[in-house]
A and B are shown apart, each in its own frame.
Chain A
Amino acid sequence: MSGPRYLGFDTLSLHAGQRPDPATGSRATPIYQTTSFVFDDAARASGLFSVGRAGYVYSRIANPTVSVLEERVAALEGGVGAVATASGMAAIHVAISTLVGAGSHIVSSRALYGGTHNLLAYTLPRFGVETTFVDPRDPQAFARAIRPETKLVYAETVGNPRGEVLDIEAVANIAHAAGVPLVIDATLTTPWLMKPIDHGADIVVHSLTKFIGGHGIAIGGAVVDGGQFDWEGSGRFPQLTDRDMGLNELDFAEDFGPSAYIMRVRLEGLRDFGASLSPTNAFHLLQGLETLPLRMRRHCDNAQQVAEFLGAQPAVEQVTYAGLPNHPDYALAQRLMPKGCGAVFSFVLKGGRAAGRKFIDALQVFSHLANVGDAKSLVIHPASTTHARLDADALARAGVSEGLVRLSIGLEDPQDLLDDLVRALNVSQK
């Protein structure tokens, strides 16, 4: 039986969260660059503070420009709501800290962005939160690592930089059977390539700095709540299922139903940790988000061409891209991401570290920097930069070799990228 249609992805990318400004008619989202909002009267002030009225109080907790971005990201991911944060790492921190406390345990994929690995392996243990890292390609490894005090399972949709594709449904089922949510970083895929919530993930985090912004001018992050996890049934989260006298006497699950988690992220996470996104950065990120579908098509097309090209070069030992048939997760990637496998991947140059340095220095179109997801093509050597905190064993477990080069393929004319790579590959082998 067919029903009415929801608005499509491209339309939501442009419109979700914003209607023309009622005061001025402004078509573009205005930047509400203000710290605070005037109350109409004492009764409304009281209602806002006691979570009995809807509206804005203070931009650390909520801001109209930021809210447009939050609603848009939530709509694109199929979530019940989102909270935008000052950075992707702030999103990861607040997503996790809403769920854990001293004595809690996390089970995480070991294929992680270096900053996330650092948070889980070194920083959170100082606060009494321990993490067990497991192979993301072995869903049962997640099951074996779950303990009574485990509060969440954490993974990335596609690992960075080796491109491990997570079997989201399998891992989500394991997490749910144990009564814990699956929190997943979908930065490299964006909702255009895949919506993790549709596959069973409960909470999605993003670095908006990357493909969603796309322009490389603003840092930001977001937490999205799928609204499907059974907090009451789990029994592991009293902060969501008991009335909290320190937080406006709210019982989040009882009072907010499907939006329980994201309401606590906002009302506790932003209130107490304060890693809120600035309205101006939200505005910048919205400009990028409007063209996400157009850009992602070109990112993926260019990445596929470059990956296939590199795979045929004698100077290249190995290309690790889930869009190539020789990648171990190729079949899974085709199922989860039929529109493309993203634009971040790695390859190993013959000649190791020395060749890698020559290669990077010879590139002229690619920019050597510590970011991914820019409209411009980027390159970096993880072993000496993003993964430098990892010791030799951890580096090996993360699948990062000394000759590994990570590329983030941009929107340039693909032939110009190939020409740049040919030139640099030739230099690297001299």
Chain B
Amino acid sequence: MEIVYQGKTTYVQTAGYGLDPAKPTVCFVHGAGMDHAVWTLFVRHFSRNGYNAIAPDLRGHGRSAGEPLTTIEACAQWLLGLFDALKLGPVAVAGHSMGSLVALQAAADGGERIRALGLLGFGYPMAVGAPLLDAARANDHVAVDMMTIWGHDFGAQIGGHQIPGLSIINVTKRRLEAARPGVIYADLNACHTYAGGAEAAAKIQCPVTLILGDRDRMTPVRGAREFAKSFSRASIEMIPACGHGMMEEKPEQTHKALVKALGV
């Protein structure tokens, strides 16, 4: 559905289901250069099993108008404001990659408004290498290639995935190619410069689940494992033979981890 939020057309995927104040809500936040469609299977599952399920396009992404926000903190405030605009009660939030940082900061800022937190393809700090940042700043297609290839396990180029007939490498490439000029750089730079992770983690009281691919090349698991100790209540769901793009590389394992992490 589309709403006008902060004066701009804002798209929120609900997979055809409206929002019911009586139901618990789960929210999925996409990563850099992406949009809501990476979450379709999960939005469809939760929305048909007793939840309000939403996946917004962050400002300037996908079907949402405007310039992209340039800091993780601003994205987190935008997300919390969106929950208010949609009149949602406590929300379980899952974020992927950049979206995991947004979810982390939103959970710290939102206090009891955040019921549970799922961090997928997470790392902190989320430093981005200079070659990728430079390519993204120049809107060079090389940035798309780097994110496509490094954003998956090597085996993803071979394929053999759980979604019949799709080349997920090429799906990812097309999604990134569809990002408006400047969006990928704004997102990557927001990840690169975000310095509030430790402070945010210390504030979070809700249960936190880190959902990680053991072959993640963008946010290697070693850093995430270490950072998990910063939370008061954290668990790790490790997906074997999986890279950074677990929602499409291993949708079934990701589904099970999300149900466990976000379910009431």
Residue contact B164 to A62, C-beta cutoff 8 Å: yes
Q: A67 to chain B: which residues have CB within 8 Å? A: 164-165
Q: A266 to chain B: which residues have CB within 8 Å? A: 164-165
Residue contact B145 to A17, C-beta cutoff 8 Å: no
Q: B142 to chain A: which residues have CB within 8 Å? A: 1-3
Q: A5 to chain B: which residues have CB within 8 Å? A: 149
Interface pick from B19-27, B82-90, B113-121, B169-177: B169-177
Q: Can you name the residue of chain A whose Cβ is closest to the Cβ of B62? A: A257
**Interface membership of A18, Cβ < 8 A:** yes
Q: Can you name the residue of chain B whose Cβ is closest to the Cβ of A222? A: B165
**Interface membership of B238, Cβ < 8 A:** no
Per the 8 Å Cβ criterion, residues 10-32 of A in contact with B are 15-19
CB distance from A278 to the nearest CB of B (A): 15
Q: B143 to chain A: which residues have CB within 8 Å? A: 3
Per the 8 Å Cβ criterion, residues 149-186 of B in contact with A are 149-150, 155, 157-167, 169-171, 174-175, 177-178
Q: Mark A94-105, 1 if CB is under 8 A from B, else 0.
A: 000000000000
Q: A79 to chain B: which residues have CB within 8 Å? A: 167, 170
Residue contact B171 to A54, C-beta cutoff 8 Å: no
How many chain A residues sit at the interface, stated as a range, is 35 or more
Residue contact B44 to A52, C-beta cutoff 8 Å: yes
Residue contact B252 to A55, C-beta cutoff 8 Å: yes
**Interface membership of B128, Cβ < 8 A:** no
**Interface membership of B35, Cβ < 8 A:** yes
Contact A47:B16 (CB < 8 A) given known A3-B135, A256-B40: no
Q: A70 to chain B: which residues have CB within 8 Å? A: 164-165
For A227, give its contact among B48, B155, B170 (CB under 8 Å). B170
Per the 8 Å Cβ criterion, residues 132-155 of B in contact with A are 134-135, 138, 140-143, 145-146, 149-150, 155
Residue contact B171 to A81, C-beta cutoff 8 Å: yes
Q: Mark A55-77, 1 if CB is under 8 A from B, else 0.
A: 11000011110111011101100
**Interface membership of B260, Cβ < 8 A:** no
CB distance from B258 to the nearest CB of A (A): 11
Q: B13 to chain A: which residues have CB within 8 Å? A: 254-255
Q: B234 to chain A: which residues have CB within 8 Å? A: none
Residue contact B134 to A1, C-beta cutoff 8 Å: yes
Interface, chain A (partner B; CB < 8 A) = 1-7, 15-19, 46-47, 50-56, 61-64, 66-68, 70-72, 74-75, 78-84, 227-228, 243, 249-251, 254-259, 262, 266
Instruction: Please list 17 pairs of residues, one from A and one from B, whose beta carbons are closer than 8 Å in the complex, sorted by A's number.
Output: A1-B131, A1-B134, A1-B135, A4-B145, A4-B150, A17-B158, A52-B42, A54-B252, A61-B164, A75-B167, A75-B169, A79-B170, A227-B174, A243-B16, A255-B37, A258-B174, A266-B165
Closest 5 pairs between A and B when the two form their complex, measured CB to CB:
A62-B164, A52-B45, A258-B174, A70-B165, A3-B142
